[in-house]
Amino acid sequence: MTIPLNGAARCGHHALVTAISMPLAMPAMGGEASADSQLVARLREGDRAAVEEAYLAHHAAIRGFARRLVGDAAAAEDIVHEAFVALPRAIRRFRGDGSLRAFLIGVAANHSRRHVRSAMRRRRATERLAAHEDLQPRTVDATDQLITKQLAGKLWAALDDLPIDQRVVFVLCEAEQRTSVEVAEIVGAPEGTVRTRLYHAKRKLREKLEEMP
């Protein structure tokens, strides 16, 4: 099963179906679900090797989500680490009706609150330092990277003013292009709540970005 990429099925309204906007995390396939259930059974038994297996299988998706959420590599690594350390205890809440990866993203989102704040402080400090640096990219690629970095930096700065729940929903819906069903499963909230959070998040972001120079 794949996620339909039409706008109605996704929780966002602005995503374009382009090569870059392909879903970044696919739902579990049949074989993967079977492997998941075996892994989950071992995790429930407290098997330490199972935690490492889960890490090797899902760390990239969790790290990607964490980075998009906090905009800071160090904070994102902390979130990944905490999510997997908490997994043996958190797995008791896993009902098995979704994928392990989605569940892990939910665990990471739960552990992201304080890291979002620390990343925000670090970003503001870095912005002040960067204002005094001579940033003259020498190549096109470097210029492109710089622009991407600047745009992302502006969005993260605007996201810093959102409540964590709206921030998580925005990242999952818009940056990761997940369906509202998936996002509802990850954040443990009804679909309607997810849509409401996304609506408010977008509205606030637009207002905030318009105020920015």
Partner 1 sequence: MNFDAMIDAIRAEDGNDAELAAATHLRLRRSLETRARSRHQLAGLVTAIAILLVGTVSWALATGKVTTLWGPAPRLHSVAPEAVPRSAPARKQVAAASRPPLPPESVTPPAAEPPPAEPPPAEPPAAEPPAVVPPAVEPAAVEPTPPAAPPSPARVAPVLPPAAPEPPASLAQVEELYRRAHELHFHGGEPAVTLAAWDAYLAAEPNGRFSVEARYNRALLLIRLERYAAARAALAPFARGEVEPAGYRQTEAEQLVERLARYE
By CB under 8 A, name the binding residues for partner 1.
Answer: 14-16, 20-21, 24, 48, 51-52, 55-56, 59-68, 71, 73, 76-77, 80-81, 84-85, 148-149, 151-152, 154-156, 171, 174-177, 205-206, 209-210, 212
- How many CA atoms lie less than 13 Å away from 41 in the CB half-sphere? 5
The token pair at 177 is 């292009």
Which ranges of the chain would DSSP assign to H, the alpha helix? 30-44, 48-70, 73-85, 87-90, 100-110, 113-130, 140-159, 164-170, 180-187, 191-211
- Selection from 67, 43, 66 nearest residue 53 by Cα: 43
Picking from 121, 28, 18, 116, the residue whose alpha carbon sits closest to that of residue 65 is 116
Least spacing, CB of residue 114 vs partner 1, in Å: 17
What's the rounded Cα separation, in Å, for the pair 26 and 22? Answer: 10
Residue number, 70 or 187, with CB nearest to partner 1: 70
> Smallest distance from the beta carbon of 35 to partner 1, in angstroms?
19
Which is nearer to partner 1, 97 or 212 (by Cβ)? 212
Residue placing its CB nearer to partner 1 in the complex, 154 or 200: 154
Nearest to 67 by CA among 79, 56, 57, 55: 79
What's the closest the beta carbon of residue 151 comes to partner 1, in angstroms?
Answer: 4
CB of 175 to partner 1, least distance (A): 5
Least Å distance, CB 113 to partner 1, is 19
Of the pair 57, 95, the CB lying nearest partner 1 is at 57
DSSP state of 179: B
Is the Cβ of residue 74 or residue 190 nearer to partner 1 in the bound state?
74
